[in-house]
Amino acid sequence: MSAPNNPYDPVRVAALDPATLDAAVAAADAAFAAAQDLEALKAARLAHLDRGQVAQARREIGALPPAAKAEAGKRVGAALAAVQAAYSAREAELVAHRDAQILVQERVDVSVPAARRPLGARHPVELTMERLVDVFVAMGWEVAEGPEVESEWMNFDALNLGVDHPARQMQDTFFVDPPDGGLVLRAHTSPVQIRTMLTRTPPIYVVAPGKVFRTDDLDATHTPVFHQIECLAVDKGLTMAHLRGSIDHFVRAMFGDVRTRVRASYFPFTEPSMETDFQCFVCRGGDEACRMCGGSGWIELGGSGMVNRKVLQACGIDPDVYTGFAFGFGIERALQLRNGVSDMRDIVEGDVRFSGQFGMAV
């Protein structure tokens, strides 16, 4: 049936002519082949398949006498099939081409390393200090702090380090300009003892972690800036037994279940004073060739003692009523020992690749 807006015009019945049909098929073939993408192919299909001469010829069949219809129908059908086939073939080609292009354009190389933003890591000195502080906080001790730029009086005098004490010489302590201004970079955390005793009344149980400064050159075992953790207890009836018990607790938290021993020593601010060693956690005293302890079976930890009466007095605490003990240990050294860090510079430089090995705890 003819379309209502496209009435059959007997003048154009020539579309059914075999030569015309062949030409129409050839034109469609050429148009499809010329289409470089699916967009262009669609336009060519509209012109040559949906509305072209072959379609026109099909409509003309209806006007033919019945005897001519069969033959003309065959011819038009073959022409249509040829155009349709040409279209389908070209479409398949162009689809394949487009898909191949998409694969190239949208290619993702999963082997390229991603632009990763590495996570930071907390510094092992911080982590260690926090863990040790926690051990004492868990026993009810409080955290105390003091300034890193400290008065000479707090750093020395109040701790019974007289003006002629060797530790006051320039080679140990950083003096803040002007040299007679009475300020130093604190050389230990012991001035926090003084600050604490001046501001609190016994019973006092404090743990004071912090940065300290000494005029050492940076090398495998020294650093001019390092950290100490200081413990101070002042109460009625405290004895060296309490001191040893507290030190043992500290050592176990840091190094595990090892024994400690003490040796007589001297600090102006403690009397009696002692040096604490702990049993080598590598050989436990059983290996004369042990590289950790040099075969002695003991590793030196740091100083401690009963708070000197003079220091208690300087802080307004009656030494006949109260006694106290204190100890102060270096964190970097403990870390070097426990984790086998052979070069102090690794601890100081703060490379995240070093810090990361101690875990990413926050």
Interface ranges with ligand PHE (CB under 6 A):
188, 190, 230, 267, 270, 302-305, 326-328
Residue number, 250 or 267, with CB nearest to ligand PHE: 267
Q: How far is the CB of 187 from ligand PHE (least distance, A)?
A: 7
Written as six digits, the tokens of 194 are 């003084």
Residue number, 31 or 337, with CB nearest to ligand PHE: 337
Residue number, 52 or 303, with CB nearest to ligand PHE: 303
Rounded CA separation 301/263 (Å): 11
Q: How far is the CB of 147 from ligand PHE (least distance, A)?
A: 16
Q: How far is the CB of 352 from ligand PHE (least distance, A)?
A: 30
Q: How far is the CB of 274 from ligand PHE (least distance, A)?
A: 8
Q: How far is the CB of 178 from ligand PHE (least distance, A)?
A: 26
Task: Report whether 264 contacts 272 (CB < 8 A).
Answer: yes
Q: What's the Cα-to-Cα distance from 165 to each of 156, 161, 263, 330, rounded to whole Å?
A: 9, 6, 22, 22
Residue number, 72 or 326, with CB nearest to ligand PHE: 326
Q: How far is the CB of 304 from ligand PHE (least distance, A)?
A: 5
Residue number, 86 or 204, with CB nearest to ligand PHE: 204
Rounded CA separation 137/157 (Å): 29
Spell out the SS3 assignment of the chain.
CCCCCCCCCHHHHHHHCHHHHHHHHHHHHHHHHHCCCHHHHHHHHHHHHHCCHHHHHHHHHCCCCHHHHHHHHHHHHHHHHHHHHHHHHHHHHHHHHHHHHHHHHCCCCCCCCCCCCCCCCCCHHHHHHHHHHHHHHCCCCEECCCCCEEEHHHHCHHHCCCCCCHHHCCCCCCECCCCCCCEEECCCCCHHHHHHHHHCCCCEEEEEEEEEECCCCCCCCCCCEEEEEEEEEEECCCCHHHHHHHHHHHHHHHHCCCCEEEEEEEECCEEEEEEEEEECCCCCCCCCCCCCCCCCCEEEEEEEEEECHHHHHHCCCCCCCCEEEEEEEEHHHHHHHHHCCCCHHHHHHCCHHHHHHHCCCC
Answer positive or negative: Cα dihedral of 144, 149, 153, 156. positive
Q: How far is the CB of 235 from ligand PHE (least distance, A)?
A: 16
Residue number, 124 or 328, with CB nearest to ligand PHE: 328
Q: How far is the CB of 305 from ligand PHE (least distance, A)?
A: 5
Residue number, 17 or 275, with CB nearest to ligand PHE: 275
Residue number, 75 or 222, with CB nearest to ligand PHE: 222
Residue number, 61 or 326, with CB nearest to ligand PHE: 326
Residue number, 15 or 187, with CB nearest to ligand PHE: 187
Q: How far is the CB of 240 from ligand PHE (least distance, A)?
A: 12
Q: How far is the CB of 212 from ligand PHE (least distance, A)?
A: 7
Answer positive or negative: Cα dihedral of 245, 186, 234, 304. positive
